[in-house]
């Protein structure tokens, strides 16, 4: 996985030079090693110290990590806060929201657009609003391995700047007649 992320990280660093890991660590978030934070990810700015990410976590674009709930502030005069803990080897899909007090275990995949209101156990795949566990990570990976064998594969040259004319991207689209393929 590290070999695949290297060209992507280099491209992201060129396009978005600000380091979101360093910025959120300065705000007090505990962030492990080899963490990928994509564009427009929001850490609860005023409560980043209540957020903890393990190693090898990927937060897709527009993920929100929320550690406070101010809905009672105007009426009751106080705000509820809750620690957010995300384990190791977790992927959280684009546009997902993790609410205060949620613990996500190790080896978890969260589908795009999910709202995580409750804990997700290790070794799970979850999605939805509210997010629900739909299967084990192993079952999901077994299905994707079988799918991988049946679909076209493409090297990183198909999605990086190595294709200035667009010829490789056009070739990739033509090969994906069944809508899907895999980058290797």
Q: Where does 68-166 have alpha helices with state H?
A: 73-76, 137-150
Catalytic residue among 64, 68, 75, 153: 64
Q: How far apart are CA 29 and CA 65, in angstroms?
A: 11
Q: Where does 67-136 have alpha helices with state H?
A: 73-76
Q: Is there a catalytic annotation at residue 47?
A: no
Parallel, antiparallel, or unpaired for β 153-154 and 182-183? Answer: parallel
Place of tokens 């996500």: 104
Contact present, 20 and 44 (Cβ < 8 Å):
no
Q: How far apart are CA 184 and CA 175, in angstroms?
A: 15
Q: How far apart are CA 157 and CA 163, in angstroms?
A: 7
Polymer length in residues for the chain: 184
φ and ψ at residue 86, rounded to 5 degrees: -120, 125
Catalytic residues, by residue number, are 64
């Amino acid at each position: 996985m590290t070999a695949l992320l290297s060209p992507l990280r280099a491209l992201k660093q060129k396009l978005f030079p600000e380091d979101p890991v360093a910025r959120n660590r300065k705000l007090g978030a505990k962030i492990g090693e080899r963490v990928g934070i994509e564009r427009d990810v929001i850490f609860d700015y005023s409560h980043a110290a209540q957020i903890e990410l393990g190693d090898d976590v990927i937060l897709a674009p527009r993920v929100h990590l929320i550690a406070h709930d101010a809905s009672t502030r105007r009426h009751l005069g106080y705000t509820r806060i809750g620690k957010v803990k995300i384990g190791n080897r977790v992927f959280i899909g684009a546009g997902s929201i993790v609410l205060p007090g949620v613990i996500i275990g190790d080896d978890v995949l969260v589908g795009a657009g999910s709202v995580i209101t409750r804990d997700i156990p290790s070794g799970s795949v979850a999605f939805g609003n509210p997010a629900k566990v739909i299967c084990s990570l192993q079952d999901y990976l077994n299905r994707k391995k079988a799918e991988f064998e049946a679909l076209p594969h493409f090297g990183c040259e198909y999605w990086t700047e190595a294709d200035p004319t667009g010829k490789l991207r056009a070739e990739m689209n033509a090969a994906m007649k069944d809508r899907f393929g895999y980058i290797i």
